[in-house]
Structure 1
Amino acid sequence: MPATSTGSFTLLHRFCALVVLLTFVHISVSLVFYVCSTDVSTAFLSIPKNPNRTVATEQLRSAEDHLGKELELQQCPDTSPLLGRGREVCVCVCPLTVELMCVYVTCVSVGPLTVEFGVEVTLQQVKEKNPDVMEGGWRPSDCVSVQRVAILIPFRHRDEHLKLWLHYMHPILQRQQLDYRVYIINQAGERRFNRAKLLNVGFTEALKDYDYNCFVFSDVDIIPLDDRNIYGCFDQPRHLSVSMDKFRFRLPYKQYFGGVSSLSKEQFLKINGFPNNYWGWGGEDDDIYNRCVFKGMTISRPSAQIGRCRMIKHKRDAKNDANPRRHSQITHTRETMETDGINSLTYKVVDIKKLQLFTNITVDVGQP
């Protein structure tokens, strides 16, 4: 055979060998990806289960367990990246907490907010704008929030105010990356209103749903003007509605603790909850302030700028007239707080409805 023919055959032989090798590598890689992307129990369905599994199967399961731990959600940052000061923030959303897996960018306007009460809002509109809110609550999908917050609103005959509150607050609470749920504590009947007792009921009933570690107590007619005013808990009891338009954006007096406040579960139990015997308007927030001070705690507040709020103007409810005994009751807080509170709470649940935007708890709290 001529030398040129021999050389061509050798070259062709080498080329064929290379093709075979590449085919083998391709099949091997495909097999590895198939095994890694298939449930072990499915991939080895034909193999009967027994306690003496092969070393290879054990190693594969160990690798899957390790991968699962790698994909566990991290704790949410102390300050949400979605909050700021009057600027647009864009955040890359990574469903698997891996930078290369970012699939889209979400941009929101943050910081000082424009709150208008002249607009008409329906519950359906609020639902459509907050599709991820279920049973009145939401939690981050890309991190684990340290704050498990129950937001409690004492309520009766304030449906229009509630629509506005839900319209503004659900987006804010989600940007704050809170694990939260909204509870409307609705007082049944037409007897004199008892705000503090309703909040005690909310605390008790909310803990039947979830292991909350933080409670925000909010009137339904107050909206914050800055999303950096965190509706969460701190080392000390927190007063959130620091400067309201009603008071020309000033704190009316140093001991003022009304409107919106927050206490951790431990702080709330330490003061024996709120008083049950304040019927009608006024006094209970000063009693709560006294309870905190008498238990060695101080009231923390955001800055006057971040703590700015707007209040919806309205007439006082007919059955929420001023409490004539409030001044006398406040002077006896130290004497009554150990026996009048969460440890002496009595009420009757009339109805509970878990709706998309809030959980409604209607209760009979009795009468004076």
Structure 2
Amino acid sequence: MAARVIVLLRLTRFALYRARVCLFLALLCLLTLDGITRIDTYEQYVIDDTDIDFRELEYFDEHPGTFRASVSVQRNFSSLVHRQSLPSCPTYPRGLQGILDTDDIFRDLSWAEIRSENRDISHGGRYAPQHCAPRYKVAIIIPLRGRDSQLRTLLAHMHPIWKRQNFEYKVFVISQIEDATLYNKAKVLNAGVSAVRKDGHYDCYVFQDVDILLEDDRCLYWCHHANPRHLAMHLDKFRYKPLVYDEVCPPRSLVERTSSENLRRYINSYFHKPKRHKVQTFGGVVMMNSAQFDNVNGLSNIYWGWGGEDDDLSVRVKSKGYAIENPYGERCSFRMIPHKHEKGNAKNVARHALLSYASARMANDGYFNTRFRYVSYEEHHLYTNITVDVGRPSREMVDFISQSLDKKTLCTWKMPWMKQEKMRKSPPKD
């Protein structure tokens, strides 16, 4: 009798186990219907072979003055001819001051006063040392919309530092037209690189925000060919600590997948739990050479308003196997110029959702997909100003980036391009 009871209990336990397994599989099927997919790392992410055109998310009037970014470079070495016989500049500049006097960091000088202190700057904001042949030729690209007072403060502070560091450089200020409703910093930078390449060959590009100032001139703006560099890791706004945060939305695919694909991916992620990725901010002062910039297809063009484009670039760089370097450590400390947030440049509240597609969009959304129009080209004594028209976001994009959603809903919200993808793939009606 006891043996029969034991057998019955074992059969009951086995039946309950099978019921739990069946219930678990049923739950998996239900979850996949919601399109839940998880991916372990950015490096393992497979870029979708899709024909999505992200330029459909913007309004841009095509006319003969419209440009598209290209890789071609107009080489002009005339500025180096008279220095070919000079010895190379030392591997480490002499005459650096180290930590700078913070009392003079926010000097409010007029343009005339700044020019009088920098008479050795050539027209257009170009400089090259006269006592030695520089090792690097650098394009300093400053995205701008308004903020004339901050530009004066920046150039008054940084020109003397750049000159002490013994490299050849030219300052390009890339301005978005004033009548634009939303600022698109990344698209302005893409247009800036295209303009720089028409000016000549540069060993690397420095993307410099207008509102941060270097506190130690031993942080060198020198090029490096192995990896991109992030000089502005230590900013007073963040208590001089590198800003790293947990991603809000995990990486996702560009298009909606079938239920079978979702099931396979979800089961795989169940047994191989994905780690929450760390997103490293990659803004303020960023250095890249031409090959690195082209390899990641520059910056994304779909971040309208404030925020997101710097983190997107960080994901692109890491997806291509680069490391983000700062060899000078805390010597590269910066102080932010106090200012108020622009009322006309609303925060992009959907930036984390867009960021989850950063790797997948990279081939179709970036420098080589940029449309813009040159509005004006003006050479001033301390810089060259290039004003560009980069268009404006579509109504669908404006609605998407301005909606107020909680994080869970935001991460599963349908992207603006998914609607156009569905329309493109659907058969035409008779």
Same fold (TM over 0.5): yes
Name which of 302, 306, 319 aligns with 1:294.
Answer: 319
Contact 1:219 1:260 in 2 (8 A): yes
In percent, how many aligned pairs have the same letter? 39
Q: 1:326 to 1:130 in 2, by over 3 A?
A: same
RCO comparison, higher one (Cα < 8 Å, 6+): 2
Name which of 95, 101, 104 aligns with 1:114.
Answer: 101
- CA deviations on 1:255-281 (whole Å, 9 max, x unpaired) are 121211110111111111111111011
- 2:7 maps to which residue? none
Q: Is residue 2:120 matched to residue 1:132?
A: yes
Contact 2:142 2:207 in 1 (8 A): yes
Question: What secondary structure, in the 3-state scheme, does the structure 2 residue paired with 1:348 have?
Answer: strand
Q: Is residue 2:101 matched to residue 1:76?
A: no
Q: Is residue 2:371 matched to residue 1:346?
A: yes
Contact 1:242 1:302 in 2 (8 A): no
| Structure 1 stretches of 4+ moved >4 Å | 68-71
Question: What secondary structure, in the 3-state scheme, does the structure 2 residue paired with 1:357 have?
Answer: coil
Bigger radius of gyration: 1
CA distance in 1, matches of 2:326, 2:344: 31
Q: CA deviation at 1:119?
A: 3.5
Question: What secondary structure, in the 3-state scheme, does the structure 2 residue paired with 1:150 have?
Answer: strand
- 1:331 maps to which residue? 356
Q: Which runs of 5+ in 1 are unaligned?
A: 1-67, 84-109
- 1:173 maps to which residue? 162
Question: What secondary structure, in the 3-state scheme, does the structure 2 residue paired with 1:362 have?
Answer: strand
CA distance in 2, matches of 1:146, 1:266: 18
Contact 2:139 2:206 in 1 (8 A): yes
Contact 1:154 1:184 in 2 (8 A): yes
- 2:173 maps to which residue? 184
- Give the aligned residue type for 2:114: V
CA distance in 2, matches of 1:160, 1:142: 33
Q: CA deviation at 1:319?
A: 2.4
CA distance in 2, matches of 1:152, 1:126: 19
Q: 1:74 to 1:365 in 2, by over 3 A?
A: same
Question: What secondary structure, in the 3-state scheme, does the structure 2 residue paired with 1:202 have?
Answer: helix
CA distance in 1, matches of 2:170, 2:82: 28
- 1:95 maps to which residue? none
- Count of matched residue pairs: 275
- Give the aligned residue type for 1:356: H
- 2:399 maps to which residue? none
Question: What secondary structure, in the 3-state scheme, does the structure 1 residue paired with 2:325 have?
Answer: coil
CA distance in 2, matches of 1:200, 1:139: 25
Question: What secondary structure, in the 3-state scheme, does the structure 2 residue paired with 1:128 have?
Answer: helix
Question: What secondary structure, in the 3-state scheme, does the structure 1 residue paired with 2:330 have?
Answer: coil
Matches within 5 A, 1:104-253: 110-115=97-102, 116=104, 119-134=107-122, 135-188=124-177, 189-234=179-224, 235-253=226-244
C-alpha RMSD of the superposition: 1.8
Contact 2:106 2:153 in 1 (8 A): no
What TM-score do you get using the length of structure 2 for normalisation?
0.62
- CA deviations on 1:151-201 (whole Å, 9 max, x unpaired) are 111101100001100101000000011110111111102320011111111
Q: CA deviation at 1:112?
A: 0.6
